């Protein structure tokens, strides 16, 4: 199976700005500078959540452009901490763990192996 022109174009894109320009999404460089990875991850998440991928390149291009525009606009109106795209932002507050002092001094069997 050979890649379509659209697939080949996508393989060449590497930065958030390149994606936005390719799909014709107007953007503020200041928003992209601060949120580039978050925008691309959200775009990826939106693609994963798409019900069905259209067969034609034109329909896919239209779908991708809309999803990228949505991902970008999520960060125009909000910020990375609020949007919680990455796991580190979804983690709960730190918690403490108690280990009895006696457990710290337990002797484990020595594993003597010679290589």
Residue 40 domain-assigned (yes or no) = yes
pLDDT at 84 over 50: yes
Model confidence pLDDT, tens digit, residues 10-40: 999 999 999 999 999 999 999 999 888 889 9
Written as six digits, the tokens of 29 are 């460089």
Distances (CA, A) of 18 to 22, 73, 95, 114: 6, 16, 41, 55
21 and 66 Cβ atoms separated by less than 8 Å: no
Crossing angle (nearest 10°) for helices 57-76 and 5-12: 30
Residue 74 domain-assigned (yes or no) = yes
Model confidence pLDDT, tens digit, residues 40-78: 988 999 998 888 888 899 999 999 999 999 999 988 887
Residue 85 domain-assigned (yes or no) = yes
Short-list 3, 115, 109, 25, CA closest to 75? 25
pLDDT tier for residue 86 given thresholds of 50, 70 and 90: low
Short-list 43, 70, 65, 44, CA closest to 54? 65
Q: pLDDT value at position 8?
A: 92
Residue 31 domain-assigned (yes or no) = yes
**Number of compact structural domains in the chain:** 1
Residue 18 domain-assigned (yes or no) = yes
Residue 60 domain-assigned (yes or no) = yes
Question: What is the domain extent for residue 58?
Answer: 5-91
Residue 29 domain-assigned (yes or no) = yes
> Rounded distance, CA 100 to CA 103, Å?
5
Residue 112 domain-assigned (yes or no) = no
């Amino acid at each position: 199976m050979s890649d379509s022109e659209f697939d080949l174009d996508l393989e060449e894109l590497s930065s958030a700005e390149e994606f936005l320009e390719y799909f014709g999404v107007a953007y503020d460089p200041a928003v992209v500078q601060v949120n580039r990875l978050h925008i691309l991850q959200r775009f990826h998440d939106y693609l994963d959540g798409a019900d069905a991928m259209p067969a034609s390149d034109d329909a896919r291009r239209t779908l991708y452009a809309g999803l990228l525009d949505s991902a970008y606009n999520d960060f125009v109106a909000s910020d990375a901490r609020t949007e919680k795209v990455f796991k580190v932002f979804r983690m709960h507050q730190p918690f403490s763990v108690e280990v009895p002092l006696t457990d710290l001094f337990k002797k484990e069997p020595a594993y003597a192996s010679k290589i």
